[in-house]
Structure 1
Amino acid sequence: MSWSATSPTSGKFAPVERSDFASLIERFNELRAQGRGYLEVRGSAVFPVLTLGFARAAAVVHLMTDEDAMSLLAADEPADTDAAVVVLDDLVDFTADFVLNLDRAWQVVEEFVRTGDPCRAGEWREL
């Protein structure tokens, strides 16, 4: 498993990959305390890559299965409103159908790290 994420000091995505799950949890908690962030997680291969972008309690999870294939995780229950979340360094608008609660999105990341299987997360909709 390797990961990269927004730097809590610069607020910009830092593409340097790390491999310690404990440090991923620590980084996520730092970003959550700041109210926004973005992270990418992959297994031992180049793909799949799971991404989590969030702002406050709203989050969106992407799955990249190769260079040309990207999907969004559909919300189990759509949010009340559309939301803007961080993707790399920018705020990007998403419809309520893809906006997850941040706790649910983090569970998806933890499950992916444990199993390496993104299919267990729910319904993926290809972009």
Structure 2
Amino acid sequence: MERSDFAGLIERFDELRAQGRGYLEVWGGAVFPLLTLGFAGSAAVVHLVTDEDVISLLVADEPADADAEVLVLDDPAEFTADFILNLERAWLVVEDFVRTGDPGRAGEWRELQ
């Protein structure tokens, strides 16, 4: 796992975007909260981990046209359209989280059961 400052995070995101898919983990200063961004093409999913047992998905402002497969860690995973964000919107969520440390500003989170 590679750690970096915000400039390094931007550089890594740009590298992954150039490859067409990727996965990033962003900490808010401590172990939790942890925000993850997984994407393939323009489809992205954002997870929020608030403790060892609580993981939530960011609900899309407007559901995508179809389900999509994005990376989670190193493996592709299928997500329903309700959680598929446009990559640019997902990146704005990451940027805001890095600046504020507040994942609640991103929108509605749905806890995984």
TM-score by length of 1: 0.87
What's the counterpart of residue 71 of structure 1? 56
What's the counterpart of residue 93 of structure 2? 108
**Amino acid across the alignment from 1:91:** P
Cα deviation for residue 42 of structure 1 reads 0.3
RMSD (CA atoms):
0.6
Question: Structure 2: 5+ residue runs without aligned partners?
Answer: none
Cα deviation for residue 76 of structure 1 reads 0.1
Taking the aligned partners of 2:29 and 2:42, their CA distance within structure 1 comes to: 30
**Amino acid across the alignment from 2:24:** L
SS at match of 2:110: strand
Q: Render the CA deviation track for 1:17-46: whole Å, top value 9, x for unaligned.
A: x23110100000010010000000002211
Taking the aligned partners of 1:124 and 1:20, their CA distance within structure 2 comes to: 26
Taking the aligned partners of 1:104 and 1:43, their CA distance within structure 2 comes to: 19
**What are the residue-to-residue correspondences of 1:1-127 with 2, within 5 Å?**
15-16=1-2, 18-127=3-112
What's the counterpart of residue 6 of structure 1? none
Where does structure 1 differ by over 3 angstroms across 4 or more consecutive aligned residues?
none
SS at match of 1:29: helix
Taking the aligned partners of 2:76 and 2:91, their CA distance within structure 1 comes to: 19
